[in-house]
């Protein structure tokens, strides 16, 4: 399937869920907090709470499992955030990683020129300055002397650490084209207008993979199509609805300085379509540049062709925070259970922060002790929680709201026959399961192997 013929959403459906609902739920339940809250906040920075950190780790782990561990042609890497400043000269980021910035002469607010329509201030209608290029890299100093020679940058993408290690990887691993090198990690961009919660922040996390192929247009095209298709379907496999996704090939004039062609996977957020991931053809741009700036040989020896060349690259580059937000949005649902409206996060069980909640039906008769015992049995395998406060219905609801897929209830019968009830978050249906079979049953129903 080529980018052009891949499934496109028919019409943009309206989202029932609002950002306000998501943001409130995230704050109320310890998924995402505004950062530096006790000092009044620090614009567009966020901290992930006890449940958010689990969800975020699960997103990264799902990506890592599918993009690295389960594949025979991709290896992992974890490079430093601080790279030699020459890296950013070579990569073109010092020169080209800029956004056009305009100021309102009246209210002094700043905007990205390519994000506003018309030539007046979108806030007050005032006159705007001419656009000037603003570099998005964060600068800092290495060591005690703060001068030009010690200036370094926080990486604006993880990709360059992969290119800088190209020779290290091919010299130490037995790799044959085509192969990929993947990494996840923090990146930093001094965005002019961050916003929309965790969609656009200045500190964020990326999941990137550089897939090296023979420098041949047909080979490049077929792997590009493969990765566009693969990445689109990955989101669907973990719960994003297909008609909330679309592919958008970039127009020539919006391509990044390194790209020969890019297709974005876009998601229908409550605020409109926005990029989730970009799949770019970087050609040999990066390896050529690093070879030139470092003087090192960054070629690959092709045994069959008996020739040396610098491979071309297909790069699927995704954002952890945006992906987590998309999963939260598409999981969010409200329905009526026993005459009461409940919020339920229908997260894929593999992504859910907590897999099972353990409840004693009553706070007596040995049930709480038994519940702790059951929890201790499950804890080596799954994230669990324990709750004995309030009616059982209220306790189920509390877990539905944060997407816990399974509830394990210890009741009177448990004390007699060592079985528990296992409740399903989505159907609210319950079945009786022997305690001895719980690990097996939950493993099966979480579906790690899918
Ligand atoms: P945008 O056009 O939205 O600024 P981009 O095209 O600059 O994004 P890429 O350079 O392709 O983004 O980065 C790859 C991925 O990293 C994006 O698809 C997105 O998921 C994530 N990402 C980029 N910038 C941010 C940010 N400021 N906050 C959160 N995630 C980001």
Q: Which CATH class is domain 19-82+154-328?
A: alpha beta
Ligand 1 pocket mutation pick from 317, 324, 325 by most atoms within 8 angstroms of CB: 317
Q: By alpha-carbon position, which residue is closest to atom 8 of ligand 1?
A: 275
pLDDT digits (tens, 9 = 90+) for 40-73: 999 889 999 999 999 999 999 999 999 999 999 9
pLDDT of residue 13: 60
pLDDT of residue 14: 75
- Looking at the predicted structure, is the pLDDT value of residue 12 above 70? no
C-alpha of residue 212 to centroid of ligand 1, in Å: 22
- Looking at the predicted structure, is the pLDDT value of residue 4 above 50? no
pLDDT digits (tens, 9 = 90+) for 292-343: 999 999 999 999 999 999 999 999 999 999 999 999 999 999 999 888 899 9
Rounded to an integer, what distance in angstroms lies between the CA atom of residue 333 and that of residue 335? 7
| CB-based pocket (< 6 A), ligand 1 | 157, 189, 191, 200-201, 204, 206, 275-278, 317-319, 321-322
pLDDT band at 6, cuts 50/70/90?
very low
Q: Using the atom order of ligand 1, give the atom closest to the CA of residue 200.
A: 28
Q: By alpha-carbon position, which residue is closest to atom 20 of ligand 1?
A: 319
Percent of the chain with pLDDT over 90: 90
C-alpha of residue 148 to centroid of ligand 1, in Å: 28
**Residue ranges per domain, the chain?**
19-82+154-328, 354-446
Rounded to an integer, what distance in angstroms lies between the CA atom of residue 3 and that of residue 228? 7
Q: Using the atom order of ligand 1, give the atom closest to the CA of residue 189.
A: 27
Closest CA to 445 of 317, 374, 350: 350
pLDDT digits (tens, 9 = 90+) for 172-224: 999 999 999 999 999 999 999 999 999 999 999 999 999 999 999 999 999 99
pLDDT of residue 1: 36
Query: Quick one: 354-446 is in which CATH superfamily?
Result: Anticodon-binding domain (3.40.50.800)
- Looking at the predicted structure, is the pLDDT value of residue 275 above 70? yes
Mean pLDDT of the chain, nearest integer: 95
Q: By alpha-carbon position, which residue is closest to atom 4 of ligand 1?
A: 200
pLDDT band at 32, cuts 50/70/90?
very high
- Looking at the predicted structure, is the pLDDT value of residue 115 above 90? no
Q: By alpha-carbon position, which residue is closest to atom 12 of ligand 1?
A: 278
Cβ neighbours of residue 127 under 8 Å, at least 6 residues apart?
104, 105, 106, 120, 121
Report the pLDDT averaged over residues 418-423.
98
pLDDT of residue 450: 83
Cβ neighbours of residue 415 under 8 Å, at least 6 residues apart?
365, 366, 367, 370
Report the pLDDT averaged over residues 272-290.
97
Strand 356-360 and strand 384-386: the pairing is parallel
Whole-prediction pTM = 0.94
pLDDT of residue 164: 98
């Amino acid at each position: 399937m080529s980018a052009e013929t891949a499934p496109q959403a028919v019409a943009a459906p309206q989202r029932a869920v609002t950002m306000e609902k998501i943001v409130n739920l995230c704050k109320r339940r310890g998924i995402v907090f505004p950062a530096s809250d006790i000092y009044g906040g620090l614009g567009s920075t966020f901290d992930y709470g006890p449940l958010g950190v689990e969800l975020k780790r699960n997103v990264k782990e799902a990506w890592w499992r599918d993009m690295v561990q389960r594949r025979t042609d991709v290896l992992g890497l974890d490079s430093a955030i601080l790279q030699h400043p020459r890296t950013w000269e070579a990569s073109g980021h010092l020169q080209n990683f800029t956004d056009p910035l305009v100021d309102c002469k009246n209210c002094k607010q700043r905007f990205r020129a390519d994000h506003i329509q018309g030539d007046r201030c979108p806030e007050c209608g005032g006159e705007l300055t001419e656009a000037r290029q603003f570099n998005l890299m964060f600068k800092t100093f290495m060591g005690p002397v703060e001068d030009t020679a010690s200036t370094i940058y926080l990486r604006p993408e993880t990709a360059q650490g992969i290119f800088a290690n190209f020779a290290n990887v091919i010299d130490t691993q037995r790799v044959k084209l085509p192969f990929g090198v993947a990494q996840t990690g923090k990146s930093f961009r001094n965005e002019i207008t961050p916003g929309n919660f965790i969609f656009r922040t200045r500190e964020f996390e990326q999941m990137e993979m550089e897939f090296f192929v023979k420098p041949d247009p047909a080979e490049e095209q077929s792997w590009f199509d493969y990765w566009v298709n693969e990445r689109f379907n990955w989101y669907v496999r973990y719960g994003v609805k297909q008609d909330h996704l679309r592919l958008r090939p970039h127009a020539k004039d919006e391509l990044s300085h390194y790209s020969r062609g890019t297709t974005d996977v876009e998601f229908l957020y409550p605020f409109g379509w926005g990029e989730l991931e970009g799949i770019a053809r970087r050609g040999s741009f990066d390896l050529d540049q690093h070879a030139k700036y470092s003087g090192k040989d960054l070629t690959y020896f092709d045994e069959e062709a008996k020739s040396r060349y610098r491979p071309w690259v297909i790069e699927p580059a995704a954002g952890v925070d945006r992906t987590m937000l998309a999963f939260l949005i598409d999981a969010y649902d409200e329905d009526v259970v026993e005459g009461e409206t409940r919020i339920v996060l229908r997260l894929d069980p593999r992504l859910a922060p907590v897999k099972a909640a353990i409840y004693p039906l009553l706070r007596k008769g040995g049930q709480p002790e038994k519940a702790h015992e059951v929890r201790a049995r499950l804890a080596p395998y799954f994230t669990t929680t324990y709750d004995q406060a309030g009616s059982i219905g209220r306790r189920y609801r509390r877990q539905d709201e944060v997407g816990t897929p399974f509830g394990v209830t210890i009741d009177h019968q448990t004390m007699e026959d060592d079985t528990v009830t296992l409740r399903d978050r989505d159907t609210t249906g319950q079945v009786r399961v022997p305690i001895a079979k719980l690990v097996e049953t939950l493993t099966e129903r979480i579906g790690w192997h899918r």
